[in-house]
């Protein structure tokens, strides 16, 4: 599927490219990342190929990421209006100010104004809650966000890095009160982070939120450069974000990615991204790129077609242990509809059920 074969995001009419350009690497203010010139070149390449969805946050490179986007495309109406620009709030950029970040009305409005200034635009297409702030009532947050939508400063809303139960509460309140609903969920999702399949992904599918995974390569661990024979010798640019994931399970997955990549004449990175993009509920996977070579490699994932055998093998190697009641529910089919098939799913008879109508009391 080409990059310009757009998809609607969640329960909305917003059309986005199936891959989203993550801008956390824009700027070297954190000691790593892309120069301004390289960031602009990466954006141009992505847009030229049909990509229209770019994701940043107020905190990325201390606000510089937003400014780079604003300087390059935000200030140019002819470019800006063709893009879906997403940014996030909650991160505090003002040390010592208790209201500088978070989910309160005061913080949200201030952060939105600051992002608009840096992005040099009059509106944000998709405004994400970056991470849940447990000190703020969720109805205060949702009402403040609804006001931003009503004012025209924000078009759509989404949540990132928030428990499923809190997302569900927010969505329910918004629907009941006629406020702007959430349309998207941004979560870490990869072959090394699948616990989101327990609560977050099912919640998103049920409540109309399109899933946009971040870190599909687990900070580069699934790119193929971290191999078993180099264990202990890696100098990860992302430090513990990468090295904390290294171990036998990771190396087993990486070796399978490399095997599939060789079979398909592609790269492990592309295979890993293609696996994420094919997961149920996923709309647009967020890819990050510090260099043009990384961008081109990641974008080519859109042309990778994994067959059922490839998917089954990767699924088996990466199956996570989910929290209760995931296993209980998965095994519950036998006592819910044992001996029958519902929606294509068959279930063995429950051995403790009556064998015939005459056995029932």
The mean per-residue pLDDT over the stretch 192-197 comes to 98
Backbone angles phi, psi at 24, to 5 degrees: -65, -20
- Against a cut of 0.75, is the pTM above it? yes
Per-residue pLDDT for 215 more than 70? yes
Domain edges within the chain: 7-320, 331-361
The mean per-residue pLDDT over the stretch 73-83 comes to 95
* Distance of alpha carbon 244 from alpha carbon 237, whole angstroms: 13
Q: Strand (E) positions, the chain?
A: 7-8, 15-16, 19-22, 53-55, 84-89, 124-129, 154-160, 182-188, 210-214, 285-288, 341-342, 345-346
Query: Which pLDDT band, with edges at 50, 70 and 90, does 195 fall under?
Result: very high
Per-residue pLDDT for 333 more than 70? yes
pLDDT score at 238: 56
CA dihedral over 353, 354, 360, 361, signed as positive or negative: negative
Per-residue pLDDT for 239 more than 80? no
pLDDT score at 235: 63
pLDDT score at 208: 98
Per-residue pLDDT for 50 more than 80? yes
Query: Which pLDDT band, with edges at 50, 70 and 90, does 144 fall under?
Result: very high
The mean per-residue pLDDT over the stretch 278-304 comes to 96
The mean per-residue pLDDT over the stretch 143-151 comes to 98
For the chain, the straight-line distance linking the first and the last C-alpha, in angstroms and rounded, comes to 57
Per-residue pLDDT for 63 more than 60? yes
Q: List pLDDT tens digits, range 280-289.
A: 999 999 999 9
Q: What percent of the chain has pLDDT over 70?
A: 96
Mean pLDDT of the chain, nearest integer: 94
Partners of 245 in beta bridges: none
Per-residue pLDDT for 162 more than 70? yes
pLDDT score at 336: 81
Q: What percent of the chain has pLDDT over 90?
A: 83
60 catalytic residue (yes or no) = yes
Query: Which pLDDT band, with edges at 50, 70 and 90, does 66 fall under?
Result: very high
Q: List pLDDT tens digits, range 104-135.
A: 999 999 999 999 999 999 999 999 999 999 99
Q: Cα–chain-centroid distance for residue 163?
A: 14
The mean per-residue pLDDT over the stretch 90-97 comes to 96
Q: Which fold has domain 7-320?
A: TIM Barrel (3.20.20)
- Highest mean pLDDT (candidates 212-226, 324-338, 345-359): 212-226
């Amino acid at each position: 599927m080409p990059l310009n074969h757009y998809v609607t995001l969640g329960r909305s009419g917003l059309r986005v490219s199936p891959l989203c350009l993550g801008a956390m690497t824009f700027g070297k203010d954190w000691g790593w990342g892309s120069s301004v010139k390289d960031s602009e070149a990466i954006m141009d390449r992505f847009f030229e190929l049909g990509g229209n969805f770019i994701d940043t946050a107020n905190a990325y490179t201390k606000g510089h990421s937003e400014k780079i986007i604003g300087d390059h495309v935000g200030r140019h109406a002819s470019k800006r209006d063709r893009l879906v620009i997403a940014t996030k709030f909650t991160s505090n950029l003002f040390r010592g100010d208790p209201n500088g970040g978070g989910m309160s009305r005061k913080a949200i409005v201030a952060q939105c104004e600051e992002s608009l200034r840096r992005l040099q635009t009059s509106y944000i297409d998709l405004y994400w809650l970056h991470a849940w702030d447990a000190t703020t009532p969720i109805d205060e947050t949702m009402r403040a966000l609804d006001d931003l939508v009503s004012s025209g400063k924000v078009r759509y809303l989404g949540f990132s890095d928030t428990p499923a139960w809190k997302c569900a509460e927010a969505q329910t309140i918004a629907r009941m009160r006629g406020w702007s609903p959430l349309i998207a969920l941004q979560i870490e999702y990869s072959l090394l982070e699948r616990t989101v399949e327990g609560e977050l992904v099912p919640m998103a599918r049920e409540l109309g939120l399109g899933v946009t995974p971040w870190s599909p390569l687990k900070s580069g661990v699934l790119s193929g450069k971290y191999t078993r024979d180099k264990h202990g010798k890696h100098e990860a640019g992302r430090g513990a974000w990468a090295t904390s994931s290294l171990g036998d399970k990771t190396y087993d997955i990486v070796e399978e990615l490399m095997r599939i990549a060789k079979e398909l004449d592609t790269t492990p990175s592309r295979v890993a991204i293609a696996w994420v993009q094919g997961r149920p509920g996923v709309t647009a996977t967020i890819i990050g790129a510090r260099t043009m070579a990384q961008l081109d490699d990641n974008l080519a994932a859109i042309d990778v077609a994994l067959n059922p055998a490839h998917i089954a093998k990767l699924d088996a190697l990466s199956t996570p242990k989910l929290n209760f009641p995931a296993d209980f529910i998965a095994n519950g089919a036998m006592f819910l509809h044992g001996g029958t098939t519902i929606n294509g799913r068959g279930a063995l008879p429950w051995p403790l059920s009556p064998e015939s109508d005459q056995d029932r009391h």
